[in-house]
Amino acid sequence: MTGIGAAAPPAIGSSTYFFLSYAHSAPMLEDPRLDPDKWVKVFFDDLSAEIRRRISAPDDRQVGFFDAQLHSGADWAEALTEALGNTQVFVPLYSPGYLSNSWPLGELESFRRRLRAAPVAEKYRHIVPVLWIPLPSWAQSAETREAFELAGDVPGYAENGLRALCMLASYRPAYDEVLRRLATEVTQIAQRHPLPPSVVPRVAEARHTSLAEAQFVVVVAAPTLAEAPADRDPEVYTERSEQWRPFGRAQALPAANYVASTAERLGLATYITSFADAGDAMVRCPSVLLIDPWVVSDSAGEHDLALVLKRLPRWVIPLVVLDDSDPHTAAVGARYADRVARMLGVANRPPAKRIRQLSEFVQIMPELVTEARRQYLKNAPVLPPGRPRARRPQLGRPEPSGNLPAGTDPAGTDPAGTDPAGTDRAGTEEER
């Protein structure tokens, strides 16, 4: 490949040269404040700088798209859709997580659909995959092997992936070589075969998760427009609790959708519901419970929330959201938030985090989703609720004979698996 020093032709216009697609990593348990995708950003910045040098662009020219650039209140799905329809080259960072995560795979499929309808030559070249983290042999395919074509001969790339080359100083020459090749490939494709802007399917368009399919649940405890106090901002409430926007016009999406987008980026099919309609949803799945303090402004709402909090499993993470920007209602809302805190204490639950700003709300979401998932894996029953436990044969214990009534246990326990003293044998360490 040879470098290109000429400036980008007018045909590219204001579109970006590349769209960086990757699988989001869960926050690190030792310090959730650290960015688990730090090296993705380093690579994005390095590739952008390398492309700017090739097209003689100023340092502030945006030549690539990286979703971490989106502001807190943005409609992420809409922003991604617009970026996919207005970029020249799709650069997926292949890793085991990428191939099992519906979000980045949805980005890839959206761009492919755009290419199928595009009136340009050599369409396939507009996707330039990179081996970010090595893939197991059984996960490799003709498609993933294209990532080796870029730099399979560069020392360390095939064995360790570009992430390792980016992180380790000893691999710096190899990393720089891959960057040069990738920047050259992207600029050549963009300038020789520019894609016209076009509409692409929304990344989340095909994902309508039912409760039965859900791996994560977002539950909203907030008044509807009819239930909210009269002095509350009408931009905050609608006819459905799930559409609650605690920060009003500052947010493009309801609060629950931000949580759902975060969970889906981490590979979890997500279901959204109100706490009035949740049923056993929070028992079945790891969950985040979003609480509007104003839900306890009347006795009925306080009673209903108290019932929910009493039955809250460990894997449901409550979050109290209160907008401090409204000087007329912030003080009253804070008192209601204190009341919710006392209710959590009565229910023997740890204090809930209290969020007061939209940026804080968005930033904390990966941490909360990951913590709910961790608590579920640690504490949830092995068998789903309602499924009968099969009794395992035990040495020294006779098996039921054919002439015993159905469900009778010859050891003297009842069919539910409790002995006369009421001990649940199904929960013993031996049975588990």
pLDDT at 166: 96
Distance from CA of residue 127 to its chain's centroid?
24
Strand partners, 94: 131
Q: What is the pLDDT of residue 205?
A: 56
The answer to whether 235 touches 249, Cβ cutoff 8 Å, is yes
Distance CA 190, CA 87 (A): 9
**Mean pLDDT of successive 10-residue segments in the chain (432 residues)?**
33 77 76 78 96 92 90 77 94 90 86 88 89 87 86 94 95 97 95 90 66 91 86 82 88 87 86 89 93 91 89 93 78 90 89 88 90 92 57 50 45 41 39 36
pLDDT of residue 384: 54
The confidence score (pLDDT) of residue 424 equals 40
Alpha-carbon distance of 159 to 120, in angstroms, equals 35
pLDDT at 103: 83
CB 96 within 8 A of CB 135: yes
- Single pTM value for the model: 0.64
Q: Is the dihedral of CA 92, 95, 97, 101 positive or negative?
A: positive
Residue 330: how many CA atoms within 13 Å on its side-chain side?
Answer: 10
The whole-number pLDDT of residue 427 equals: 40
* CA 145 and chain centroid, separation: 27
Report pLDDT for 5.
31
Query: CB of 18 within 8 A of CB of 88?
Result: yes
β-partners of residue 65 are: 19
Tokens standing for residue 254: 């309801």
pLDDT, residue 29, reads 58
Of how many residues is the chain composed? 432
C-alpha torsion 68→71→73→77, nearest 10: -50
pLDDT at position 212, please? 86
164 half-sphere exposure, CB direction, 13 A CA radius = 12
Q: Two tokens at 373?
A: 């998932």
Give me the pLDDT at residue 402, please.
45
Q: How far apart are CA 294 and CA 334, in angstroms?
A: 9
Q: What is the pLDDT of residue 392?
A: 52
Q: What's the sign of the alpha-carbon dihedral 249, 254, 257, 258?
A: positive
d(CA 232, CA 385): 40
**CA–CA distance from 380 to each of 367, 390, 414 (Å)?**
19, 18, 24
**pLDDT of 395:** 47
On whether the CB atoms of residues 134 and 99 are closer than 8 A, the answer is no
The identity of residue 104, as a single letter, is: P
Distance CA 25, CA 19 (A): 18
